[in-house]
Amino acid sequence: MARPVIGIPCITLADQWYGPTNGNFKAYLQAVEFAGGIPLLIHLSDDQEVLRYHYQLCDGILFAGGDDLHPSSYGETAIPQLGQTDQAKDSTELRLAAWAREDRKPVFGICRGIQLLNVAFGGTLYQDLPSQFPSDYNHRDSEDRAEWTYLAHPIRFVEDSWLAQQLGSHEIVVNTLHHQAVKRLADGLRVVASAPDGVIEALEGTGEQFVAAVQCHPETLWQEADLRWRKVFAGFVDRCRS
């Protein structure tokens, strides 16, 4: 198939009487489509057999934003500041990430996605930055302004990172809508970008599997706010072609 299929696990929205909805933001789907891929939504399911059908059609997986991972997935107990969690999302995504790692399928993480990949590889998270990592920076700044594309703070990349190469810059300003972050880095990953306060903002894999992940939300930036992100999505889709 000419265009690679990129799986995107869903999030669940609960809208009172209307009942829970499985889906994801159009911005992720369009980013994949624009970059030359076929977006495939993967609904959340504990049914491994059904999930496997989706997985096998995927040439790569994009782990998108969403609720907090439950800290039991990295051996911690929940602190009071932990946000909403979604058991079905955790189990679906951790399973997909493990399968992809086994098969060396390319993966890309965004926001919760960078956290998910770090946990799937054996790392840990800050459950809540304001209470566990005091800083002058508000990592929910774009969210507090109710503006996805608000560029809140710079991030600086290491010299030899794939992401910096795709972006064509080693320092960029990004949007920020998170309260958790990578704490202990997992084996098999390396930090390729940080915020000025030291919060980890991007990871890449060190092994054969293509792994790249960012803490910001480039799926809402590539359209207008920062066109350089298009090369990142295109680069990921290209890595899924082989």
Partner 1 sequence: MKPIIGIPCGSTKDTPWSPPMHGHRQTYIDAVVQAGGVPFLIPLVDDEEVLRTLYNQLDGLLLAGGGDIAPSYYGEEPHENLGSVDELRDRVEIPLTRWAVADGKPVLGICRGIQMLNVALGGTLYQDIGSQLANTSDHRDSMHKEDWSYMAHGLSIDPESKLASMLGVTVFQTNSLHHQAVKDVAPGLRAVGWAPDGVIEALEGTGDQFIVGVQCHPEALQAETDPRWRGMFRAFVESCKHPEPAVA
Site residues for partner 1 per CB under 8 A: 1, 3, 5, 10-13, 15-27, 29-30, 33, 38-41, 43, 45, 47, 49-50, 53-54, 57, 146-148, 220
- CA geometry: angle 222, 158, 231, nearest 5 deg: 25
- CA geometry: angle 109, 102, 39, nearest 5 deg: 40
In the bound state with partner 1, the residue whose beta carbon lies nearer, of 157 and 229, is 229
- Shortest Å, Cβ 175 to partner 1: 12
- Shortest Å, Cβ 241 to partner 1: 14
Residue closest to 204 by CA, chosen among 183, 189, 185, 214: 189
For the annotated catalytic residues, the residue numbers are 111, 217, 219
In the bound state with partner 1, the residue whose beta carbon lies nearer, of 54 and 183, is 54
In the bound state with partner 1, the residue whose beta carbon lies nearer, of 49 and 102, is 49
The answer to whether residues 226 and 122 touch, using CB atoms and an 8 Å cutoff, is no
- Shortest Å, Cβ 21 to partner 1: 5
d(CA 125, CA 94) in angstroms, rounded, equals 15
- Shortest Å, Cβ 26 to partner 1: 5
d(CA 80, CA 59) in angstroms, rounded, equals 39
In the bound state with partner 1, the residue whose beta carbon lies nearer, of 64 and 203, is 64
- Non-local (6+) Cβ contacts of 209 within 8 A are 100, 101, 104, 105, 106, 107
- Phi-psi map region of 60: left, alpha, beta (phi>0 left; psi -120 to 50 alpha): beta
Residue closest to 22 by CA, chosen among 48, 53, 50, 43: 43
- Shortest Å, Cβ 62 to partner 1: 12
Q: Look up residue 172 and give its two tokens.
A: 């960029």
In the bound state with partner 1, the residue whose beta carbon lies nearer, of 1 and 159, is 1
d(CA 146, CA 5) in angstroms, rounded, equals 32
